[in-house]
C-alpha cells in the first residue's frame, strides 16, 4: 500500500489545485506559462509515481501514460464544477499528455543508460561470490 502513497499524494495535489476558484485572477502571459507548466510538471510526477507502483517495467509505460491521461480527463471534468474554472480537452491533449509522455521518455532513456552499468556491477558481484 505504501507504494501507492506518492501517486495518491500527486492525485490529491492536482485535485486541490483544480478545486481553487479562479475568480478575479489575472491571466497574463506569465500566469499562463506558470499554470500550463504546472500541468506538465504535475502530470509528469503523476506518471512517474504510477510507473513506480508498476515496478518501472518498460512494458507498462503505455499503461502508465493511459492512467495519467485518464486522471487528467477526470480532473478537467471536475473543473467544470469549480467557480471561474472550465475544463478543456486542450489541456488534457497537450499539457497533461506531454508532461506524462516527456517524463516517461526521459526516465526510460535514463534507465537504459544506467542499465549496462548495473548489469556489469551484477556480473562482478556474481564473479566475486563464485570465487569466495
Contact 46, 100 (CB under 8 A): yes
Q: Measuring CA to CA, which residue among 66, 36, 37, 39 is closest to residue 50?
A: 66
Grid cell digits, residue 8: 495518491
Q: pTM for the full model?
A: 0.81
C-alpha 9/C-alpha 4 separation (Å) is 8
pLDDT in tens, 7-49: 999 999 999 999 998 776 666 888 788 889 999 999 999 999 9
pLDDT in tens, 68-105: 999 999 999 999 999 988 889 999 999 999 999 999 99
Amino acid at each position: 500500500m505504501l507504494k501507492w502513497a506518492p501517486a495518491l499524494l500527486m492525485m490529491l495535489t492536482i485535485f486541490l489545485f483544480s478545486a481553487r476558484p479562479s475568480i478575479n485572477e489575472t491571466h497574463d502571459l506569465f500566469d499562463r506559462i506558470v499554470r500550463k507548466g504546472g500541468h506538465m510538471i504535475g502530470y509528469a510526477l503523476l506518471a512517474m509515481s504510477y510507473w513506480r507502483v508498476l515496478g518501472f517495467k518498460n512494458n507498462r509505460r503505455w499503461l502508465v501514460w493511459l492512467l495519467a491521461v485518464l486522471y487528467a480527463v477526470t480532473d478537467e471534468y471536475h473543473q467544470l464544477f469549480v467557480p471561474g474554472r472550465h475544463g478543456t480537452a486542450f489541456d488534457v491533449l497537450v499539457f497533461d499528455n506531454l508532461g506524462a509522455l516527456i517524463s516517461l521518455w526521459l526516465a526510460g532513456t535514463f534507465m537504459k543508460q544506467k542499465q549496462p552499468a548495473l548489469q556489469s556491477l551484477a556480473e562482478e558481484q556474481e564473479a566475486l561470490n563464485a570465487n569466495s
